[in-house]
Structures are given as C-alpha cells and as structure tokens.
C-alpha cells in the first residue's frame, strides 16, 4: 500500500487508517442526515398534493422503490438515477429560460 504524503511528509499506515476512518465516519453521518432530509422533503411533496409517480420522477427513481423505502421507515435514499428517467421540469428554471 502506498502511503500518501501529508503536509508534514509521509504518513504512517496507522495515521492513514485513522484519517480514512474519520473520513468514512463523516461521510456516513452526512448520508444519514441527507436520507432524513430527503424523506422529509418527500413527505412535504405528498402533503402538497404530488403523486408518488411525480415524486419518483423528480428524484429519478422507480416509484415502487420510493414507496418501499418511504413506508419501510429507513428513509429515502437515491442510489442511482434510472436510465432514461425524465424529471418533472422545475418551474423556476422554466421562468428563467
């Protein structure tokens, strides 16, 4: 394993592992927060009258996956955008065109 050089010179393997572990913890915390915020946004869209099909299109994900995640209680996580998914246009973007 090649140890990248830090600002103080070469990093020890133990330091590199600690740094990578801290990076992973930070990313995991951010992901948990984003899943919760996205779930809240989905709730807001539903309360605002959007259909599940419309919300799925906005997120670029399968409607049934969205429903399963939302009602499963673990939060909504968009892992990848469906190939060929077409999102509903953003009205604010249309006004500026």
List own/partner pairs for 54-59 with CB under 8 A and 24 or more apart.
54/88, 57/85, 57/86, 57/87, 57/88, 58/87, 58/88, 59/87
Q: Is 76 helix (H, G, I), strand (E, B) or coil?
A: coil
pLDDT at 27: 94
The burial class, CB within 10 Å (0-12 / 13-18 / 19+), for 61 is buried
Task: Label residue 65 by pLDDT band (50, 70, 90).
Answer: very high
| pTM of the predicted structure, to 2 decimals | 0.64
Specify the pLDDT at position 49.
97
* Residue written as token pair 């995991």: 28
* pLDDT tier, 1 (very low <50, low <70, confident <90, very high otherwise): very low
State pLDDT tens for residues 3-54. Answer: 555 566 677 899 999 999 999 999 999 999 999 999 999 999 999 999 999 9
The answer to whether 52 and 67 are in contact (CB under 8 A) is yes
């Amino acid at each position: 394993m090649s140890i990248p050089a830090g600002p103080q010179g070469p990093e020890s393997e133990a330091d590199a592992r600690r740094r990578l572990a801290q990076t992973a913890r930070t990313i995991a915390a951010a992901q948990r927060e984003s899943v919760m915020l996205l779930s809240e946004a989905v709730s807001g869209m539903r309360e605002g009258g959007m259909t599940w099909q419309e919300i799925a299109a906005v997120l670029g994900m399968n409607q049934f996956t969205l429903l399963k995640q939302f009602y499963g209680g673990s939060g909504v996580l968009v892992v990848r955008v469906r190939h060929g998914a077409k999102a509903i246009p953003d009205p604010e973007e249309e006004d500026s065109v």
